[in-house]
Amino acid sequence: MTLNPVLRVDTQMIEAVRAHRSLSKRAAREHASRTLALMGIASPEERLRAYPHQLSGGMRQRVAIAIALLHSPDLIIADEPTTALDVTIQAQILSEVQKLVREQGTSLIWITHDLSVVAGLADDVAVMYAGRIVEQGSVDDVLDRPQHPYTQGLINSLPSRNKRGQRLRQIPGMAPDLLSMPAGCAFAERCSRASEVCDQDPEPREVLPGQTVRCFHPGAADAY
């Protein structure tokens, strides 16, 4: 979600409230103010009177998330909402969002490239490669015992998994062009376990209880 740069925060939030509930402007404003406070925003009344450019990046993201939470939805899909923020602000926002969605009973799909965010925030994870889910399961299972070579490559490339002073391990090659996908497994060109059977398209299958993998040769062995 992005904020409209030419409208004050109160205008945008009141409009969002009244689009779904028949509340007076005053009641809608009070609801907006309460939701900002729930998102850990200090001086919500002052923030309501601000234009987006008068807020910091972290504050803008908090306001955008507060707008998504105004109606206590069943599900929120958040696409890299904290990627541009520094780590401290990101950690604060993650903890506030986690607390709020738990309290409200909202499901949250958080799309991210950051495995530390996944480890700290999620219950379940779905790892995507070339537009498809290649591994899925509980965060603990997938991060502790990844079965797909791509998930293993991602985890092995984390700086914390590499020795100080040495080059970071990386997954060789590049992701395929989504407009001209290769036949068979999309990861085959980069995979050290690829064999003839990988010329076919693997279907997802449960290889461990609760852990589904799209691979002909899943396994715990370190591929990189």
Stretch near ligand SF4 under the rule CB under 6 A, chosen from 35-43, 63-71, 162-170, 193-201: 193-201
Closest separation between CB of residue 152 and ligand SF4, Å? 10
Neighbour-count burial of 175, counting CB atoms closer than 10 A to its CB (0-12 exposed, 13-18 middle, 19+ buried): middle
Longest dimension (CA), the chain: 67
- Residue with Cβ nearer ligand SF4 (6 or 178): 178
Is 191 an interacting residue with respect to ligand SF4 (CB under 6 A)? Answer: yes
- Residue with Cβ nearer ligand SF4 (57 or 182): 182
Whole-angstrom Cα distance, residue 39 to residue 197?
50
Beta strands across the sheet bearing 132-138: 124-129, 132-138, 211-213, 205-208
Name the residue among 101, 94, 98, 97 with its Cα closest to residue 74. Answer: 101
Residues facing 17 on adjacent strands:
none
Is 155 an interacting residue with respect to ligand SF4 (CB under 6 A)? Answer: no
Neighbour-count burial of 15, counting CB atoms closer than 10 A to its CB (0-12 exposed, 13-18 middle, 19+ buried): middle
Closest separation between CB of residue 122 and ligand SF4, Å? 23
- Residue with Cβ nearer ligand SF4 (125 or 215): 215
Structure tokens at 176: 């395929």
Whole-angstrom Cα distance, residue 25 to residue 72?
19
Count residues binding ligand SF4 (CB under 6 A).
12
- Residue with Cβ nearer ligand SF4 (123 or 203): 203
Residue pair 63/55 in contact (Cβ under 8 Å)? The answer is yes
| Footprint (CB under 6 A) of ligand SF4, residues 198-217 | 198, 202, 215-217
The only residue of 149, 151, 155, 171 in contact with ligand SF4, by rule CB under 6 A: 149
Closest separation between CB of residue 187 and ligand SF4, Å? 4
Residue pair 213/148 in contact (Cβ under 8 Å)? The answer is yes
Is 68 an interacting residue with respect to ligand SF4 (CB under 6 A)? Answer: no
The only residue of 41, 146, 188, 211 in contact with ligand SF4, by rule CB under 6 A: 188
For ligand SF4, the binding residues (CB under 6 A) are: 149, 185, 187-188, 191, 193-194, 198, 202, 215-217
